[in-house]
Amino acid sequence: MNKILLTTRPKHDYTTHYLFYWASEIIKLARDKGVSVLDLKKKRANRKEFESMLSKKEPLLVFLNGHGNADCVAGHDDEILLEAGKNEELLEMKIIYALSCKSAKELGPKSVGSGALSYVGYDNDFVFLWEEGKISKPLEDKTAQLFLEPSNCVVGSLLKGHTVGEACRKSKQLFLKNIHELLTSENSSEIVPYLMWDMRHQVCLGDRSSSF
């Protein structure tokens, strides 16, 4: 397995638009740390290229962004990239973070059962709030930041050498820090239920001691 980060970044609706830009922060961090990045963005986030990169380049870390369901994660235009019972064996010996809805419910456990080292994801919908006025500058959206920074913390921590278990703990700590700050502020506490939801539904499957 190679010290390579593979990312998928579809961009075809508002949700993937936000994930696309926030994942670019992780790509920047990886490159700053000298890590090779295979960036399957927009139309390149398709099944053919994804499967080819996984088998030819053997990246140790896979960061998936996109819509999903209990048994799958999708790429550009919602083309299914990974599907339980179909191609999860491609994740063998890899660490995966799926910023996607529900995939830790079925795809995650099956991936670990097929040899993935660890699978971090969400066992229910990943929800986030954003500001309409910031759609053209998602990285300046302080509301989206409350959700997407703790999410980025998973891969960010792995790139800094932490184990998967530590990366999950740090991500949840950051969700919790944001919750505390909102609860003690005069406004925006209405966002708290959604942060709490994401924090509680983030799951860490497989070997928590594995690292990148």
Partner 1 sequence: MADAKEKTKKDEVKKLVIARLEVLSSDKKISIGSSGEFTKEELIEHVEKEDSIGEKITEIQMEFLQSLKEDVFYEQDTSNNETKA
Contact positions toward partner 1, by CB under 8 A? Answer: 13-15, 18, 67-69, 74, 78, 100-102, 108-109, 112, 119, 123, 125-133, 143, 165, 168-169, 172-173, 175-176, 179-180, 183, 187-188, 190-194, 196-197, 199-206, 208
The set of residues, in sequence order, having a beta carbon less than 8 Å from that of 24 and lying 6+ positions away, is 9, 139
CB 178, min distance to partner 1, A: 12
Contact 164, 177 (CB under 8 A): no
Report residue 71 as tokens. Answer: 């048994």
Report residue 79 as tokens. Answer: 């083309």
Q: Which residue has 């740390």 as its token pair?
A: 33
Mind giving me the DSSP string for 3-67?
Answer: EEEEEEE--SSHHHHHHHHHHHHHHHHHHHTT-EEEEEEGGG-SHHHHHHHHHHH-EEEEEEES-
Give the separation between CA 63 and CA 40, rounded to whole angstroms. Answer: 10
Q: Give the 3-state secondary structure of residue 102.
A: coil
| Beta-bridge partner residues of 112 | none
Q: Give the 3-state secondary structure of residue 39.
A: strand
CB 48, min distance to partner 1, A: 22
Residue with Cβ nearer partner 1 (16 or 87)? 16
Give the separation between CA 63 and CA 111, rounded to whole angstroms. Answer: 14
CB 60, min distance to partner 1, A: 19
Residue with Cβ nearer partner 1 (27 or 73)? 73
